[in-house]
Amino acid sequence: MSVKVRLGIMMFLQYAIWGAWAPVLSAYLENTLHFSGFQIGVIYSLLPLATIISPFIGGQIADRYFSSEKVIAVLQLIGGVMLIFVSQLTSYSAMMWLLLLYCFLYAPTLALTNSIAFINMHNSEKEFGQIRVWGTIGWIIAGLVLAGWRSISAAIGAPAPGADTLLLAGIFSLIMGLQSFTLPHTPPRKDDVKPWAFIEALKMLKDKNFLIFTIIAFVVATELMFYYILTAPFLVSSQIGVSETSVSAVMVIAQAAEILVLAFLLPYFLPKYGIRTTLTIGILAWPLRYIIFAIGEPAWLVIASLALHGFCFVFFFAAAFIYVDTIAPKDIRHSAQGLITLVTYGIGNYVGSLFAGWVKSYFTTDAGTNWTGIFIVPCVLTVLCAILFMAFFKTDRKAVKD
């Protein structure tokens, strides 16, 4: 089996694990375990928290002591067993602490899989996209498998015990743990790295454009968690009426759109219209989706608006990483990417998880959940982001380098 195929399978499984639980676990926590909105927010904040800390742990182990593929294998095997165990828990406290431990196992593998891919490719600029897209496909397949599993279980009257989302993720994790032993041998790296690169990256914030971009990226990242945490409970509510059996399949509309926008629209739009216009459209897609959620009808329009995720995610986050790559000095480029990852997927998603959970609790009473009030909050915040970005981000750069 070729290296490229093995790397593609690795990406498929890496994101199938995440995609098995992240989109729909919140619906299970709310409707079956009756966790509060804030408790659900805390559960979802654990992976961003681990993402902030894990580079100082997992990265150091792989860089200095053990080959990357073996580190991934051990982390995924232990993580798979832990997920299967956690899937049977019903106590908030026990689930929260064990999921935190699991997230510390999973988070380092996100960076390590990218590292293995880059090291073992001949031309990363051309090949990485072809390999990474299998991660999004894995996320989609996980959602469809979960929907099929639930349909079969309902048909035979034998629903899976506990959280089937975590159980499925655990199975994928065990498979990936075994598959990781087949990955190309990637020994610890001994290359010299600029010791103060991250501090040099922080100095980029002295540039007004980059500072504005970083602040807006942080705020937008907080609003991303309204989508990840609250969409599934919203869709299965009586207002929209999607069944819990099929909700995971419905939500893959977002990832399918992401693939199409990433493959066809971004490569055309970014060189033609420039980074400022691309990022602005990316920001504006967020309030458009949230205002449709806030209106909440007709149901078909709410479901169709999931496709806006392609623009929300690709035109903002993917374009954001491209922007950073074009402006960062070559010797600190990786640290600059690490900085924006920390600001968005780390701190931004962590704060956003807690904020979304708190907003959910605030707008939930004995009479029910006020979904309009909930989604107006991220709608207003992302509109403000778009206005401030257009007012203060003044780059006139029209194209990015190949």
Total H helices, total E strands in the chain: 18, 2
pLDDT confidence of residue 344: 94
Report the C-alpha gap between 369 and 125 in whole angstroms.
Answer: 46
For residues 370-381, average pLDDT: 98
pLDDT beyond 90 at 66: no
Q: Is the confidence at residue 199, as pLDDT, over 60?
A: yes
Coil, helix or strand at residue 313: helix
**Angstrom distance (rounded) from CA 317 to CA 341:** 10
- Give residue 174's pLDDT: 98
The pLDDT value recorded for residue 195 is 53
CATH superfamily of 1-190: MFS general substrate transporter like domains (1.20.1250.20)
Q: Quick one: tokens of 20?
A: 């098995």
pLDDT-derived band at 200 (thresholds 50, 70, 90) equals: confident
Does residue 121 contact residue 114 with C-beta atoms inside 8 Å?
no
Three-state DSSP state, 65: coil
Write down the residue that tokens 């598959």 correspond to. 179
1-190 matches 192-402 in fold: yes
pLDDT band at 196 (very low <50, low <70, confident <90, very high): low
The residue ranking higher by pLDDT, 103 or 322, is 103
**Residue with tokens 């689930």, as numbered in its chain:** 95
Q: Given a cut of 70, is residue 39 above it in pLDDT?
A: yes
Contact 251, 306 (CB under 8 A): yes
Domain boundaries, the chain: 1-190, 192-402
Runs of H (alpha helix) within 297-342: 299-304, 309, 319-327, 333-341
In angstroms, the Cα distances linking 125 to 54, 103, 117 are 26, 30, 11
Element (H, E) at 365: strand 364-365
28: pLDDT confidence band, cut at 50, 70 and 90?
very high
Residue 158 pLDDT: 77
> How far is residue 133 from each of residues 69, 250, 301, measured CA to CA in Å?
20, 20, 27
- Residue 349 token pair: 């998603």
Q: Say if residues 350 and 48 touch (Cβ distance below 8 Å).
A: yes
Give percent of the chain above pLDDT 90: 69
Given this model, what pLDDT does residue 331 score? 74
Contacts made by residues 300-308, CB under 8 angstroms, sequence distance 24+: 302/235, 302/240, 303/235, 303/240, 303/242, 303/250, 303/253, 304/253, 306/231, 306/250, 306/251, 306/253, 306/254, 306/257, 307/253, 307/254, 307/256, 307/257, 308/257
pLDDT of residue 400: 40
DSSP state of 307: G
**pLDDT at residue 212 is higher than 60:** yes
Which of 3.60.20.10, 3.40.50.300, 1.20.1250.20, 1.10.3720.10 would CATH assign to domain 192-402? 1.20.1250.20
Residue 398 is predicted with a pLDDT of: 41
Question: Which pLDDT belongs to residue 112?
Answer: 84
pLDDT of residue 121: 80
Q: Report the length, in residues, of the chain.
A: 402
Has residue 261 got a pLDDT over 70?
Answer: yes
The mean pLDDT of 334-350, rounded to a whole number, is: 88
Q: Which of 50-64, 137-151, 238-252 has the lowest mean pLDDT?
A: 50-64
* Chain mean pLDDT for the chain: 89
Give the relative orientation of helices 92-119 and 37-53 as an angle to the nearest 10 degrees. Answer: 40
Give per-residue pLDDT as tens, 158-193. 776 679 999 999 999 999 999 999 999 878 765 545
- Rounded CA separation 89/163 (Å): 8
81 Cβ contact partners less than 8 Å away, ≥ 6 residues apart = 170, 174
Q: What is the mean pLDDT of residues 303-327?
A: 91
| 393 Rama class: left (phi>0) / alpha (psi -120 to 50) / beta | beta
pTM: 0.89
